[in-house]
Amino acid sequence: MKRLDRLVLLSFLPPFAVSFGIALFVLLMQVLWLYIDNLAGKGLGAFMIMELLFYRCVGIIPMALPLGMLLASVMVMGNFGERYELSSMKSAGISLLRTMRPLMLFGLFASLFSWYCSDTLIPIANLKFGSRMYDIQQKKPALRLEVGVFNDDFQNYAIHIGERLSDGRGVRDILIYDHSEGSAGKISQVSASEGEMFVTPDGRYFVMNLREGYQYVQTNTSSGGKYPFVRTRFKVYRKVFDLSEFQLSRTNEALFSSSRQMMSASQLKTAADSIAIDMDKKNTSMSNFLANYIHRISVDSTYMRQDSTRPTPDGTNPYNYNYVDFSPAANTMVPVEQQGTPIPRVKANIKKVHSFIETIASDERENLFIRMENIVRSIQSQAESTALILDRLEVSRVKHVFDRHSKYSIALACFVFLFIGAPMGAIIRKGGFGYPILVSIIFFMLYVVLTIFCRKIAESLLLTPEMAAWLPCLILFPIGWFLTLKAMNDSPMLQFNGAKRLFSKLTRRNRPQNAIH
């Protein structure tokens, strides 16, 4: 490795580590606020919290890497420009691209690592995080019996404690309302002057030993009971509560593996193809359903013959329909000889009609209309239901395809942001955290907004998901190329030379001529 490459790389790595850590922390806090309501008050241990944070850190690495590359490249090149090291390199014949060569190699490595995280590590981390969060959401808050407050953490029970002793176990003025048999009209209440409460060593049960109290039981009088109200005095009363509903259970992770966030690129492609096959099956099923009804309402045209050469006398129907009447009174059987075999010949009366309805008996027309209306309603209902299902399937397929291509586009963003940050640092020539953070926030927010916007228009079926996933990089790449050309030519980012020349010509033309020469 040459000294120049070593200098640039050693100057780049510390700012990149700090920038990447800051970006990771900010994005992690943003995600953590979304789940703070599910984590608070659940009595989770420090190891469980650290495990959840680790899974989320892995999930946001692809978004933190581009921001770290952008911020670090602006800082490094800004420091070089501020200390005139970049000018010394250019005067020595070293171009900006040659100076950026070690950063390009590092950006390529960062892109590959981002793709590896998106395709391999993130599905596993999301699967672990999703299953753990589901278990935490199902877990009840930690049991906390506060003095003077009714606690209803236990199902069908309400517990009130008047005073808690200094030993942590003794309590006084206890009230327990039991509604476990409330549906049967039986309500129970237990009151005691003193007692103690504790959790068994295995943590499975919560025990309350009460002393010197009463138990009141009230039953529904409509059931015909002999004693609607019963009071029982006791010296010792023991109540045991099961704590299994307060424990954190582990759900089978295979139940969450079908989610898009838990799939790799190959699995997303397979899922998208499966959805497309399901859509084809729905279309085929609807076609068969419609063909079945069309077959039922089709009319056998054997008994009708259309004569298009003669218009009707009133001119309302351009065709005449010849209706063949096969009634027994109108038909006779006349045997004829054809090739030695007698063939019955049918003689029928031909009636002129103007519509197909006239060929149906008047007493059967109403039943036919009702039957046709039912068929049309059934076809309309089935078509609307199939259209809704197809729309949902299409949106799901678009999401799968978009997520698959996003794994590659986010990885490429690490390399694209390098050609934005390094030229911007060389142009502004300011190091530190002031200007670089401002420039980085502007371009990174532009990238985030473009990503969200493209996802929305892809889900709205206004743009193909492949194009929507790559569009942010396609928009930012020309910006990076433009900035790189400006930095290589040492030209200001915004030039108005043409406008200045035009303005000077106009001012000279309108300037009054001096009469005295």
pLDDT in tens, 143-198: 567 777 787 777 778 888 888 887 778 888 888 888 777 666 677 888 888 888 88
Q: What is the mean pLDDT of residues 502-516?
A: 55
Give residue 466's pLDDT band: very low, low, confident or very high (50, 70, 90). Answer: very high
Is residue 508 included in any domain, yes or no?
no
User: In sequence order, what are the beta bridge partners of 213?
Assistant: 192, 234
pLDDT value of residue 312: 45
* Residues 376 and 350 placed together within one structural domain of the fold: no
Out of 246, 262, 281, a domain closes at 246
User: Is the residue at 149 inside a domain?
Assistant: no
Residue 145 lies in a domain: no
Whose tokens are 């040492």? That residue is: 490
Total number of domains in the chain: 4
Do 121 and 70 lie in a common domain? yes
Tell me: do 263 and 333 sit in the same domain: no
| Residue 236: Cβ within 10 Å count | 11
Cβ(423)–Cβ(96) below 8 Å: yes
Q: Residues 28, 103: one domain?
A: yes
**Is residue 437 included in any domain, yes or no?**
yes
**pLDDT score of 1:** 58
Q: Where would I find the H helices in 331-361? A: none
- 470 confidence band (pLDDT: 50, 70, 90): very high
pTM reported for the whole predicted model = 0.65
| Residue 287: pLDDT band with limits 50, 70, 90 | confident
Domain finish residue from 363, 384, 414: 363
Domain that holds residue 321: 301-363
- Mean of the pLDDT values across residues 396-416? 91
Same structural domain, 101 and 8: yes
The per-residue pLDDT for 455 is 92
The pLDDT-based confidence of 310 (bands split at 50, 70, 90) is very low
Statement to judge: residues 293 and 388 lie in one domain: yes
The answer on 272 and 225 residing in a single domain is: no
CA nearest neighbour of 414 among 483, 454, 472: 472
Residues 382, 275: one domain?
yes
Coil, strand or helix at 92: coil
Q: Do 176 and 224 lie in a common domain?
A: yes
Instruction: With respect to residue 179, please indicate whether it lies within any of the assigned structural domains.
Output: yes
| Per-residue pLDDT tens digits for 110-124 | 999 999 998 888 888
Q: Mean pLDDT, to the nearest integer, of 188-209? A: 83
Q: How far apart are CA 485 and CA 474, in angstroms?
A: 17
Task: Estimate the share of the chain in helix, then strand, then coil, as percent rounded to the nearest 5.
Answer: 60, 15, 25
Sign of CA dihedral 347, 353, 359, 362: negative
Residue 233 has pLDDT above 50, yes or no: yes
Averaged pLDDT score across all residues of the chain = 76
Sequence-ordered list of residues with C-beta below 8 angstroms from that of 55, at least 6 positions apart, any chain: 125, 126, 128, 129, 132
Q: Is residue 150 a part of any domain in this protein?
A: no
Higher local confidence (pLDDT), 300 or 510: 510
254 confidence band (pLDDT: 50, 70, 90): low
Taking a C-beta distance cutoff of 8 angstroms, is the pair 416, 473 a contact? yes
Question: Mean pLDDT, to the nearest integer, of 208-234?
Answer: 75
7 and 131 fall within a common domain: yes
φ/ψ bin of 54: left (φ > 0), alpha (ψ from -120 to 50), beta (otherwise): alpha
N-to-C CA span, the chain: 70
Whether residue 216 is contained in a domain is answered as yes
Q: Are residues 259 and 389 in the same domain?
A: yes
| Residue 509 falls inside a structural domain | no
Residues 180, 105 share a domain: no
